[in-house]
Structure formats: C-alpha cells, structure tokens
Structure 1
Amino acid sequence: MLLCGSKRRKMSQSMIATSVLCVLISVAIAVCAIGYFTFQLVVGEKGKARVDVLQQISDSNSVNRTNMVKAMDALYEDFYDDLTAPKSEKSSCAIQMLLEQTDRQFKRIGMDMTIDILLNDRRMFSTDPDENNLKSLKNTYWYIKHYSGETDTSWNLRFWDVDDISTYGLAYGKTVYAQDGKVVGMIVLTSRYEALFRTFQKLVSDGVKVYILDRNGIIISHTNPNRVGNWAFDMKTFQEEYGRNTYKIIQRSKQKILIVNYHDASSGWTFVEEQNMDELLRDGLKTVRNCLTIVLLGCIVAASIAYWRGRRITQVLSDFTDEIGDMSVEKLSELPVKDEYEETYVLSTTFNGMIHRIEELIDDIRIREQEKQRTEYDFLQAQINPHFLNNTLLSVKSLIAMHQPERAYRMMNELVELLHIPATPEIQFVPLEEELHLMRSYMSIMNCRTEKDTVLICEVPEKMYGIYVPRMIVQPIIGNAFFHGFAEMEEGCEIRLRAGLRGNALYIEVTDNGEGIAPKRLEQVQSGNYRSGRLHHGIGLRNVRKRLQIIYGGRSDVTVRSEFGKYTTVTITMDHYRSIPKREQGGEVNEDHSS
C-alpha cells in the first residue's frame, strides 16, 4: 500500500523530547531523595547517639541499684520490730540509735547513702542533716502511694537544683506493714554517689525532657518533679508504639518530637528522652526545607509540562486503542485512518487490512468446523445403526419364518420409528420426552430379539420433558445393558432411568440390575483403556463420549459405577445444555428447567 500525503511528524521524535523532560524530572527527584535521606541519616545518628547516652545512665546505676536493694532488705529486717512497736519515747530512741549505728556502718564501708524513715504516726527519722529534703519528700505523690499502701517498693531519681550535683539522689522506698497488714510507714534509702548522676545532669541541663519509667509505667524520675510517682504509660502499648532501645519521630501539638528510649532488662526500667526536632535541627532543617520546597516546585512544573506534552502526543494513539478496545469480536469493522503521525497512519491502514483478512478467515474456519463436526458426528452415528439394523432385520426374518407376523409387524414399526431421521445437515436434537419414547421403542425391539421381558422404570420429572438432548444418545447405554448386564439372565431384568440438573449440567443416569462388571474390567472401563471382545457393543461408551464432546465440550462425559453381581450405573453428563438451540418448530432456545 502506498503512503501518500504531506510529511508527518515522527512520534519517536516527540517522545525523545518527552524522555529528556523525564530525565530532568528524575534528576530533580533524586536531589529531593538525597536531601530527604541525608536528613534521615542525621536524625538516625542523633537518635542512636541518644540511645547510647541513656544506656550509659542505666549501666552506671545498675550496680548501685543492686546494692541498694540488698541494703534495704537488711534495713527492713533490722528495723522492723522497732518500727511496728507502739509509739513511745523508748521505741523512738531505739529507732534513732539504730539509725545512727547503721549510718556509721555505711560510711565505714564507703556507701554514700542516707536513710529516711517516715511513719504514719508523724514521726520522722533521717541521717540527712538537711531536714528540708525530708519535708519535701512528704509532700510528693510518690510518698503518698506508700503511705496509702498502694505500692510496696518503688524508685525515685530526684533533684532539687539542676546545676547542683549534690542535690541529685536515687531513692529506693519500701512500705512497712504491721502484722495485721496495716501500713506503718516507709523506709527510704537514697544514694548520693555523684558520679552516677553526671550524665543525667548533662541531659537535664540541655533543656530536654528526661524521665524514667518502671516496669508498670510509673514515673520514677522526671525533669518536672511534680510528675514523679504518676502513672504515664501502659508499657506494652509504649513498646508497640515507640519500640525498645530505639528512637522515633512523632507529631505532637504541631511539633515534631524525637523520642529516644532505652530499656534496662535487669531492673525493668525504661529511660526516655524527648527533644523538640525544631530545636535540635533548627538551622539544618531550615536549609533542607528550602531545598525541598524548590525541588518540589521544580518537579511540579516539570511534571505538568511532561504531562501536557505526553498527553498531546499520545492522545491520538489512545483514541486509536480505545476504538479497538470497544470493538466487538463478533462485529469487526474498519477504523478511521489516523494521519496526524506517520506511525498512527501506518497502524490504522494496516489494521484495516488485517480486519478484512480476519473476517475472511473466520468465515472460512466456521464453515470448515461445521462440516468437520457434522462429518464426525455422522460417522459416530453410522457406527451404531448398521449392527443394530442388521440384527433387528434378522430377528424380523426369524419371526416371519416362525409364523409370527404380528410380532414381526410390530417390530418393523418400532424399527421404522426408531431409525427415522429428517433430511437435514444439522445434528438432530429431540425433547427428552421423545428420547424416552424412542428408548421404549428400542427396548421393545430388544425384548423381541432376546425373548426377555425387560422393564423400563422412568424416574424423570415431567418438567424436564422439554429439555432438548441429542437424538439416540441413551441408546448405546441401554444396548450395553442387554448385551452385558442381562446376557446370563432369563427373567427379572430391569432398567431404571433418571434425569436431573447439577448447575449448568444435565445428567441422565441409566441403572440395570444385571450381573455388573468385574473390578479389574471396571477399572479399565473407567480409565477408557479397554478392548471389547464383542463387535456389536465395543464402540458404545466411546461413541457416546465423542458425541458429547463434539456437541457440548466442557466437562461433558460418561461415567460408570458398578458392583459385580448387583448392578451397573452409567451417567451421561451434558455440560451447558441450555446453550443448545431447538432445531425444530420455530428454533426456540432451551428453557431453564432447574426450578
């Protein structure tokens, strides 16, 4: 085909220009990504560094906490009798003397700890010369929880002056109970080993929020002393939201907060630091924000240009593909020639040429396929009729020879009705009611031939009589019942015929009470790998299977069940039976008989 007309633009050239724009956009996005990941790297390093700092605080207090717990256990045992004794001057003197003796022992072994005892009868004892510390302790929620018996033991890392390291103290409190379970008071053991608090003081001095949670989520220490003793978190929820020994950036009150935590497994404490990201990275964040804004605007502009250019270029091709997509396979048609671009012009003209050729091929294939199916079906039908016709005519001849003209006449009438096939090139379909009538005629002939009195029991609902089925599709199955099942039986022969629906499939079930099939032979029949020793019936099952596949396809098949010496059941399944049209009297389609 000759291509004529004015010179058209190449779509490839336009796409190259678009590709250049895409590269520029990719570069801009890469710059943005680099800035973003650089920012994340800085935050990550900062977060990891803060985790290490919290770990140092935890490690520095680990040994000290262990010593304080052991010391508290000893104190509780030594002081218990005097603390639970009734209030008197004698018991108070005993407590004071024992307190001074214990303080001297602590100093002798180098333990920088103070002991405070607060009793519910308002007596207070302390080895700390500064009474203000003891009075301030009584006003805390931490003390109230012990006073009320709400907790047995708890920790408190507190300070009075951020800049004065001597005011820092790690306190461990234990509630004292009387024999009857009532709260008597509490013992507080406070460590003032200054080296333990240097790192903690540095964090607090930086202006960040630092606090420690025990295993129950109670605040042990906080930069705001009024928060000590309060419940802050459910620790399971805290771990799920913030992780463990890690950091996370969250949004809180329109501010980004860097939360760092370290969990000490031995004590169950969780050290937490909260720092405002804007303060942490104020200058760097400003620069990064400006860069990201410029890159983002550049990406938006570049993307808009690329979209406009790409949309304009590909619109013609999109319209072309839409027209092809909307085209029905059953109704192929030519498309308008697209001559704006060289490529679309070639595509549209070539496509139209293909449409003509495809239509020709489809018509040719359809005709050939119909001829092939009809030829194959006729061949299968012809395999059944000669044997049956020959044997029936021999039987008629014998009846005439035996001077039984009435039986011979009746058999001939049945045979004529059975073999009557209208002259048409189409595969013949009949209502199920007519197929049952044909099977009764066939059984009448077979009873005459075999001199048996086989009974046909039909269990087909009348509402299914209008369903169309291939003519004589059941005949080979009933023939096998006579030739195999009833071969050795003289009387009591019975064939039961049922029909029903399973979804889109129609099934017809034929059961005889004959001798059945031996297990080995049944296995061969079910697999289709068998040979028949009798010419007149060896083609039966294969014939029916092939006819079903030609007409219905899908899952249409013939299945066999049998119990040797009792019965044989053959089931014919016709998949998508509703799609088979009625071939006679108006050409209406099958009705749905599934209701």
Structure 2
Amino acid sequence: MIKKDTKKIHNIYIKNFIIIIVIPILSIGIMAMFMLIRESSNAIDANMELVEKNILDTLENEINDSSLQFSRFLLTNNNQVLDTVALYNIYDGDKQYMYEQLLKNQFNLLVLPKLELAGIQFYMKGEREYYFKNSIELPRNEIKNTKWYKNALEQQDKIHVNVENKSIISNNGSSNNKEKILVLSISPDKYDIFNQIEMGIMYVKSNALNVIESANSWSDHISVYLVDENQTVLAKSDERFEEEILSNSYLKKGKLGGNKYNITKIKNTNWRLVIISRTNFITEEFKLFFLLIVVCISVVFSLFYIFSIKFLGNIVNPLGKLAEVMEKSNISKASVTVEKNVPYEIQVIQGTFNKMVLRIRQLILENEKKEIEKHKEELRALQFQMNPHFLSNTLSTIRFMAQVAKYDGIRKMTESLIQILDCSFRSNESFHTLYEEVEMLNSYLYIMGMRYVNNFEIEFQIDKDCQQCLIPKLILQPLFENSIVHGFDEKQDIGHIVFKVFKEKNYIKIHITDDGKGMSEKEIEDILIKRNENSNKIGIINIYNRLGLYYEQQFNFIISSKIQEYTKVEIVFPYKLRNKENKNV
C-alpha cells in the first residue's frame, strides 16, 4: 500500500516539476535571449547616435567659433592686426620693437578667453615670421609643402580649416604625440594693403578631435574616423576599418559585413564623420552564451532529476515507515477526520498534525488559566499599593501638626519625604522629565543635608534644552547617596558634587563628579562587571540593570575614580521629549 502511494507521489512530483519549472524556465530563457539581442542592438544604435551627436556638435562649434575668432582677430578695426604685422616686417630697430609691443597688446585684447588657443603665426613674403604664444617647429619649406598651406595660397582671402598633430608646435605641453589640433590658415591679399604677409595661421586645441582619437579607450566596439574630401583620414580612433571606409565612401548609413555605419557631413566643411559599430560580436557572444545556458540548464535538470529519484527513495519511503509507527502509537486512538483523496503518507501526517493541534488547544486552555491566576495576583498587588498612600496621608498630617506647632525643620523634612513618595507612587509610568527628577532630588538632598549637617555642596550645570528630556525615574538619587554616604564618610571638610547634564547629537549625557575618597579599580569592576549584589553599591547595580532594560544596547554607564581625589559617573542614553513645554529647573 505504501509503495503504491509512493509511486503516485513520484508521478505527481515529476509532472509538476516539468510543468512548473522546466517549461517556464526554458520559455523565459529563450524569450530573454531574443529580448537581450534586440535591446543590445537598440542600445548600440542609441550609443552610435549619441556619440555622433556629441562629436558633431562639438566639432562644428569649435570650427565656427575658431573661424569667427580668427576673422575678428585679423579684420577688427579696419584690419589693424594685419597692418601692424606688416609694419613690424617693414621696419627694424626701435620701430620694429614698438610694433612688436603693440601686437602683443592687440593679441591680449582680441583673443577670447573661451577659445583654447595654442598659438598664432604669420609668415612674411620675405624670410621673416612672427608668432604669438607658440610657433610651428617644422621648417618653413615643409610647412609650405602641406596641402592646407597650398590650398590657402590658391584660394586667398578665405579661411581654411585643417587638422594637424599637436607635436608640430613648440611648447605643446602634451606627452601624447597623437593629440590633434585645428589649424586655420588664410593668405590675405586684398586685406594686406602693405603686401607683406604671405600666410596667417591659428592653432586651436580641439576637444572633439581628442574624443575621436581616444574613442577606443571608452568603447572597444566603436570606431570613429574623420575624413576630408580627398579621402584623407584626418583623425581616427584605430585602424581596424580604415581601408574599408575609404573603399566604401558612397555609404551614408546602414550595414556592411555585419557592422553598422553612420557617415555624416560636417557643416561648413567637406569633411565626413564616420562611426562604425561592430554588431557581429554581439550575435557571436549571445550564441555562445545561449549555448552555455542550454548546456547548464540541461546539466542542472539532469542532476535535479537524479536527485529527485534519490529523494523519493530516501525520504518518502522512510516517511511511510514513520507513518506506520505513528499509526500504531497511542495518539492515533483519538478521533480525527482525515481526507481520503490524498496519498497515504499525507493522510497519516494530517491525522497526526490534527492531534497535535488538539494538544496545543489543551495547552492554550491551561495557559489561559495560568494568566487568570496571574491577573488575580496583580490585583492583590494593587491592593497593597494602599499602604504607600496611607503613609503619604499620615506624613501630610504630621506636616500639618509641625506647621501648627511652628517646627519648621520637621515640616520641611516631612514635605521633602512626601515629595519623594509622590514621585515614587503617583503613577505607573517608568519615565518622567529631568525637571521632575531634579525636583525630587532636591527634596532628597534637603533631607540628607539635615542628616549630615550640610557637610556637602551641590553645583548644578543643566542645559535648558535638557529640562524636558525623559529619563527613568529615581536613577539620580542612588548616585548622589553613594557620593554623600560613602564618598564623604572619611572627609573632614565639606564635600563637593558637580551635577552636569547636556545634550550631544541625539543623546543626553549626565556627569556626576564628587571629590570624595574615590574607589579602587577592583571596586569598580565588582560593580560594573561582576555586579556583585552583596556590595553596598546595590543602588548603582540596579541603575545599570534598569538602563539595560529600557535602552538595551543604546546606553553607556561609565565609572572612573582615583583614590582620595574623585569619583565620576557618566551616563549616556537617547534624548527623548514628552512635549514642547518649557520649564525652568
């Protein structure tokens, strides 16, 4: 019978395992794979568009700003800079020096701060040249052979823009030989009335070109190229697709060879920005990833199936034997309703569980009886609270009689004792304000002053914002009693106690310091670590235990002392308020 039902459990388990786990996991895995491929492809497109937009906007702005600045610099005030450069070339000696100083002033006035200017240089029609900030290190004949120099000579009075390595200028301040700069050149013809200047050149640092050159450092699957109208690569992130781009210059946007291309023209130039993203690596990686997942899932399912077989053999069969033992026990004699349409082992477990529930109900009834007895004891304890109230009323009568008989000392001591009793028994709350605690403490100190003939003095240092802070009742009195009774018992002169309360962050700190006989380290250890209840410091032990009950780990209680010098108690616990009323201590 058990064997038959065990097979039923096995069949149910396998069927549900396939329906609930195998099929959903395979379906989710396949859908997730296709979604990841699609999302990755979309992310690549978005990334390409973002890179393209950032580089285009930056480069076009840099070219426009640089061109406008160069034109403004050369042509402001009726070509004042060009005229001054020409006169500098014509004259020698003092006049040349004068025009040189005039040029420096004009440069400082006309160059905009926002332009990352690397330098300005003029080549004269003779052998002379003049530069501001930095000069070109290449020999003049090599500069004249550059394509951009020749283009500027062919198309005069027009600003031409090109790209060069930053290493061509002196003092470039860069350790990267591949760093690029924008080179703006113009051959002034009609603007040079003295016919002295062959070429004016301005070098500008370019963030866009540096982004192109460093693209490989932030993306290993995106390549960026800047190409001019002659198919010359002006700037590039790498050389992976350089030949492919040059041979397919007709492409504007699309796919080729498993890669995505974006080719965009730069405004006001004949340059093109080419961005290539490798997409085939995504497909290849996802194929491998998918194959790995399929293999892993197959291995897991196989291991899980083997485990399930062993599980059913090692767990369900012993469970059936256990059910037989439970059935033969005395507990089974109880009348329990069990479902008939479930496997045998489950029926036995249900029956036993129901029996345990009945037992728990019996225990609950017994516990309820105990609770009722406990409440009766609490009621009896409340009746005994009449005794403190009776004592308080009796003391009030004594105070009245002392007042009638004009015994002020007795009256004041009785009033102080009444106040202490009222603080202890007037409510069931465990906390009251520091203000109320200090009021009770003053009454206690008055009684102790009468008892010990005022052989001590108290200095109060209480911050106003601590007066309404809630503190446990009667935690201060045992500490003051310890100082007066034990700390000053061998003192010949008047003892002093400093009582300081202040707030620090979200905690209240209480310091009580006396100049009594002090305590040894062993005495402190007995109080705080061993908590020796036979010690005469039982009040301090109670304070420590109460703070632990109220604040758990959120309090600190420290005793420091030096024999014949002082004893200091520091208490720290969370700062809490009951209300916003302001009172004065």
* Structure ID, larger Rg: 1
TM-score, length of structure 1 as denominator length: 0.36
TM-score, length of structure 2 as denominator length: 0.37
